[in-house]
Structure 1
């Protein structure tokens, strides 16, 4: 099997892996939204395994692209495909992979925002339980958030 066939096989595996990763990230979003920590832990393990496999494929692809004296960037890979694939058969899976990466990046950002939102909600609940005024937040002259230090009554004192 020549390098072009090896690259094509690796690219196909990457496309399959990115689709699996996208599915797992959608499951992750549902687990975050439903606050299912046990399910979330299983999903994170599965996600990390997929990312490891994708990184392995990417490292191999990088080697093949650089052997042909192209940079391992989207532009360099486009140039690599143009140079080594006269039938342009790699263009479609390469486009699928890039699109999948974009969708996974978007899901990752959305999941991070969901987690951040939950962390803020929990922190606010804890401040209220400790008797701190969680609602009063002001800004200093430089525009930075400044939480007031006024203590209220704790829930046990109420």
Structure 2
């Protein structure tokens, strides 16, 4: 049976359905409000698979969405009047303080960053030493090659 959105709806049990869409299979359970694509559980609004099932059994899709998405709850959210804050109120306390730019100087104990040597600069050729024993030859390269 083809339904809207070209879904094939197969009834498994009374409220459990199997949807075939683009060579994929989705399981919809209307009693637990679940779909295997998980969009219905995450958003609270029925996904396309669920709507195909609801249209197939001729029910109202608004019965299967959360009550917070109904027109009644939308009207209840805006029924209490609210008054905006007038512009002539003088703000006191932390609101009138001037904001200074962040401190850009270095702290006295902060070490300098080691700068990378660019390809155009002539590097100092010195042997690489092991940090633990201060001996040469423990590293993969024993000497730095100068960049030509």
Compare CA radii of gyration and give the structure with the larger one.
Answer: 2
TM range (shorter): under 0.3
**Between structures 1 and 2, the one with greater strand share:** 2
Query: What's the TM-score once normalised by structure 1's chain length?
Result: 0.26
- Bigger relative contact order (CA 8 A; separation at least 6): 1
Query: What's the TM-score once normalised by structure 2's chain length?
Result: 0.27
